[in-house]
Amino acid sequence: MPHSVQGSPLLGIDEPTLIAYFAALNDERYEEVAALFAEEGVLYPPFEEPVIGRGAIAHYLHLEAAGMRAEPRKGELLAQEGTERCYRLVGKAKLPLFSVNVAWQFGLNTENQITFVKVDLLATLEELFNYQPLRQQR
């Protein structure tokens, strides 16, 4: 099985759960994304409160991730402590009006369920403040 996400190599990571996460996320199959989480798994979106539990994660993704495309480019196993493995991936998140560099940090338990995903934007404050939505021209 090639280790890719929608044709993009996921360098350094061959973890099926992570590959499935990005494939389902990019296909907007949010219930499938949420099903990859442990029952009380947590999504830590940037600048927002944690989203806890599969149902809440699916609901959040339906509201906030529509039209987004995640493009992880490189990943590594950060640590294997006790029964949890931690991974870090970097790449881009493309939204309808802009794209931004992103780092995703994942925790996986012994059942290969996601215990947490932390999403960090890798942009300077200046870059974020300078972002202005495209405006319709009259």
Q: Is residue 129 part of a domain?
A: no
Q: Is residue 92 part of a domain?
A: yes
Using 50, 70 and 90 to split pLDDT, how confident is the model at 125? Answer: low
**pTM for the structure as a whole:** 0.81
Total domains, the chain: 1
Q: Is residue 109 part of a domain?
A: yes
Q: Is residue 136 part of a domain?
A: no
Compute the distance between CA of residue 54 and CA of residue 51 in angstroms, rounded to an integer. 9
Please give the residue range of the domain that contains residue 77: 4-122
Q: Is 100 exposed, middle or buried (0-12, 13-18, 19+ CB in 10 A)?
A: middle
Would you state the pLDDT for residue 129? 59
CATH assignment of the domain containing 106 = 3.10.450.50
Q: Is residue 10 part of a domain?
A: yes
pLDDT digits (tens, 9 = 90+) for 79-107: 887 789 999 999 999 988 888 999 999 99
Q: Is residue 108 part of a domain?
A: yes
DSSP state of 124: -
- The residue that leads in pLDDT, 82 or 78, is 78
